[in-house]
Structure 1
Amino acid sequence: MSQPYAEVVGDPIAQSKSPAIHCFWLAALGIAAEYRAHSVAAGDLGDYFAARRADPNWRGCNVTMPHKQAVIAHLDRLDPLAERIGAVNTVVPEGGALVGYNTDVAGFLEPLQGWLGKRHLYRMARVLGAGGAARAIVAGLAAERVTIVLAARDPAKAEALLAELDPGGEHHAVALSHFAPPTDFVFDDRAGCFDLIVNASPLGMRGQDPLAFDFTHAPPGAIAYDIVTDPADTAFLKAARARGMPTIDGLAMLIGQAAAAFERFFAAHPPRDRDGELRALLAR
């Protein structure tokens, strides 16, 4: 008899680290199930879900680019958070219905909880990029009462995203190029403040253009967070560490969002005490 299984779908899909993560956890817990990567073109999403609905062994799927928004048309209902963000990265069959969730928010916020659990006079984040990943990041930060400066090649796109996801927020949209040249801006006293700089774009990823960010735009004590996973230790993070800034890499978000999805697929908590081993596996 075939084993239960979940999978990740996207186009392309060969670069996905999700199978390595989920298979590591399944083996560690001794769960007799599989997790696969499955390439699905945009025009084949309907056929894919029609086939999976009829498969009793299918426990759901993660959804990666470019399908996080297109997949919504093929689902029966959305979790309220996924509906608000307008993007789905996890699909689970529940009572004969296909339900869409977004675990990117939980994955992104997880490594920030130590800071966000404290009280601050003011919270600000500079988010670089206004693509699909930025939707979850903006929604998550807005819910944590963070004022956001969202930078995009097209500032109008950033402004529209902010207006859609947090219309009552006092956020700002700027051109991505704003952060490239040095600035002589003198930051005020940041004691008691939370400052975050997030690369939410593919810039700096292997094979992509570098991220042009001048660290004179970084307030003292700011946290540098890069969601790029290949390489995990990006030039942006190295430059931040050289300036004494705390850093968070893309594997933190990747593992965090996968953990939330794993629980829905396999009704088990992944062994997070083994994250060090998992990171070493993903770095190979």
Structure 2
Amino acid sequence: MNRYGLLGKNISYSFSQGYFTKKFKALGLNDHSYENFDIQKIDALKNVLAQDNLKGLNVTIPYKQDVIPYLDELDAKAEKIGAVNTIQFTKNGLKGFNTDAYGFQKSLEPFLKSHHKNALILGTGGASKAVRFVLDELGIANTYVSRSKKQGQYTYQELDENIIAENTLIINCSPLGTYPDVEDKPQIPYQYIGAKHLLYDLIYNPEKTSFLASGEAKGATICNGLNMLEHQAEKTWEIWNNV
């Protein structure tokens, strides 16, 4: 049996497990399985790695950065981003990749207009690093928004009409609004959102988060993270198979 899986914490909702189980079935790969490795602390990764027949892993919240010291090698892009969501098992050990950046770029580009020159990134976790990497590559100026004050970032309290008007692309990288807490949303001044805005939420469950619904009500274009996950999963499969 060729075993693949997802490393994370409290991940019963995993998109990856459903996606790859379906993919293996469609490809007739009856000797392939995909499972969730739900660990409460990163040091439990040693127990996961000790298991037989593991061929590849995905990594999700909250371990995309914590996993790096356990790897033997980093792909150049993952190193630059500072976060890993895909682990390839090679003859020289474990190699970390980041396919979030690829998935995010592929899913964002169809929605971009020429006026999307400035972006706000809500949240500063592992996924936000891939988002920033892509925005930098695309030449879109971007600023992190966080609950605590740090240099070069905004706090949610600081967001005003001018900042919202200037930043017509707003990306939620925080877990706020994920099922079952579907009423939650980042505390931004939604009253200043308008038709020029594009709101992108990395969350895909629910399909339309409170963040996206609030933006849509103000005329904004909205996009959730499902397409990003599909793109990054396909890229992951290529990495595992050395395509």
Unaligned runs of 5+ in 2: none
The alignment status of 1:46 with 2:46, answered yes or no, reads yes
Q: Distance in 1 between matches of 2:77 and 2:135?
A: 13
**How much has 1:12 moved relative to structure 2?**
2.1
1:75-224 to 2 correspondence within 5 Å?
75-115=71-111, 120=114, 123-156=117-150, 159=151, 172-179=152-159, 183=161, 187=165, 195-208=168-181, 209-218=184-193, 220-224=195-199
> 2:219 is paired with a residue of what secondary structure?
coil
One-letter identity of the residue aligned with 1:264 = I
Q: Secondary structure at the match of 1:82?
A: helix
Q: Tell me if the contact between 1:204 and 1:236 (Cα under 8 Å) persists in the aligned partners.
A: yes
Distance 1:114 1:17, change over 3 A: closer
Shift of 1:94: 1.8
- Superposed displacement of residue 147, structure 1: 0.3
Cα displacement (A) at 1:264: 2.1
| Residue 206 of structure 2, aligned match among 212, 231, 235 | 231
Question: Which residue number in structure 1 is paired with residue 17 of structure 2?
Answer: 19
- 1:206 is displaced (CA, Å) by 3.0
Partner of 1:72: 68
CA shift for structure 1 position 24: 1.3
Q: Which of residues 48, 57, 61 in structure 2 aligns to 1:61?
A: 57
Give yes or no for contact 2:165–2:192 (8 Å, CA) kept in 1: no
Aligned residues: 239
Aligned residue number for residue 26 of structure 2: 28
Q: Amino acid of the residue matched to residue 9 of structure 1?
A: L
Q: Distance in 1 between matches of 2:211 and 2:28?
A: 38
Superposed CA offset, 1:30-78 (max 9, x none): 22311111223322123432x25xx4x3221001122211211111100
Rate the CA distance shift 1:220–1:75 in 2: closer, same or farther, 3 A. same
1:227-270, Cα deviation, whole Å (9 max, x unpaired): 122212111212222233221112222222222112223467xx
Identity of aligned residues (%): 31
**CA distance, structure 1, for counterparts of residue 221 and residue 110 of structure 2:** 12
By how many angstroms is 1:207 displaced? 4.5
What is the TM-score when the length of structure 1 is the normalising length? 0.75
Match of 1:24, SS?
helix
Contact 1:106 1:256 in 2 (8 A): yes
Amino acid across the alignment from 1:143? E
Which residue identity lines up with residue 176 of structure 1 in the other structure?
Y
* Distance of 2:242 and 2:163 partners within structure 1: 50
Give the drift of 1:20: 0.2
* 1:129–1:176 CA contact under 8 A, matched in 2: no
Aligned counterparts of 1:108 and 1:122: Cα–Cα separation in 2:
16
The structure-2 alpha-carbon separation of the partners of 1:93 and 1:133, relative to structure 1 and needing over 3 Å to count, comes to same
Amino acid at match of 2:216: R
CA–CA separation in structure 2 for the residues paired with 1:140 and 1:88: 15
Runs (4+) of structure 1 exceeding 6 A deviation are: none
Aligned-pair Cα RMSD in Å: 2.5
2:6 and 2:164 mapped to 1: Cα distance? 46
Contact 1:184 1:216 in 2 (8 A): no
CA deviation after TM superposition for structure 1 residue 96, in Å: 3.2
- SS of 1:155's equivalent in the other structure is coil
